[in-house]
Amino acid sequence: MKKEYSQLKEYMDASRKTVAVTGAGISYLYGVSRLKQSVGRLNAGRIFSASYVRKNPEEFYKVMKNAFLDVTFVKGPSPVHKQLAELENHGKLYGIVTQNLDCLHTIAGSQNVVEFQGSFRDNVCIDCGTRCYDYQVWNQGHAPRCEKCGAPLMPTGFCGDFKETAAVSAESMRKAADMISGADLVLVIGTTGFRSEEYLSRMQSGTKLVQINPSGTQFDRIADLNIRADAADVLAAIL
């Protein structure tokens, strides 16, 4: 294992632009629930709709609280979130592409984060469409409301009832692909590759890909280096 750590350090020392790709693995093991486990597959489509939230804003808030918000605001970032922020602070990491909604990268101190599924940082009023770019509205102990009209807010990426959702998703994925296209080293951490074909297709020839994951994923066959270990241990060794 030490040989793999040394190889990763060599890659990072030689890299001009390293990008990390993260997924549910770095938050799930830390306490964030998988969303479909919290609401059930059959309930997801019903709950994530403006009509449901308009009638049941506090119930929607409770689902978000149980799935994400208790970890986001009570436990806070995991060691991996903090280590990635530290790597960025030291100039060793350019940015992060994440499928996670929980804002833990931002809370940990990372500055250059693309959340291609949306997050609690970008919210929309279900009545007037006013946008609210502040995850702290979810840290008040109740469902957040629009300051303009008083209607409930939803994370933009969750609400399929608005045309803004498709536009936000497309713009976020474009940013993710642009970040990956400029990287010469990509670190895949705690993800099985949800929607990865949409951004990894922009990875340049010669860019190295390193996967840090205790278990196998679809990245096994394309990674230049697979490290089967906890990401916190690996990043601690690098730092």
Statement: residue 193 has pLDDT above 80:
yes
Q: How far is CA 53 from the centre of its chain?
A: 23
Name the average pLDDT for the chain: 88
CA R_g for the chain: 18
Statement: residue 41 has pLDDT above 50:
no
Mean pLDDT of 9-16: 96
More confident call, 127 vs 159: 127
Residue 42 has what pLDDT?
44
Residue 25 has what pLDDT?
85
C-beta contacts of 51-58 below 8 A and 24+ residues apart:
51/161, 53/126, 53/152, 53/154, 53/159, 54/126, 54/127, 54/151, 54/152, 57/143, 57/145, 57/152, 58/142, 58/143
Statement: residue 44 has pLDDT above 60:
no
Statement: residue 23 has pLDDT above 50:
yes
Residue 71 has what pLDDT?
85
Each residue of 136-181: pLDDT tens digit? Answer: 999 999 999 999 999 999 998 776 656 666 666 788 889 999 999 9
In the structure encoding, which two tokens stand for residue 141, read together? 């102990």
53 and 39 Cβ atoms separated by less than 8 Å: no
Mean pLDDT of 85-89: 97
pLDDT band at 197 (very low <50, low <70, confident <90, very high): confident
Mean pLDDT of 103-117: 94
Residue 26 has what pLDDT?
87
Residue 30 has what pLDDT?
56
Statement: residue 62 has pLDDT above 70:
yes
| Alpha-carbon gap, residue 44 to 49, rounded angstroms | 9
The pairing of strands 18-22 and 153-155 is unpaired
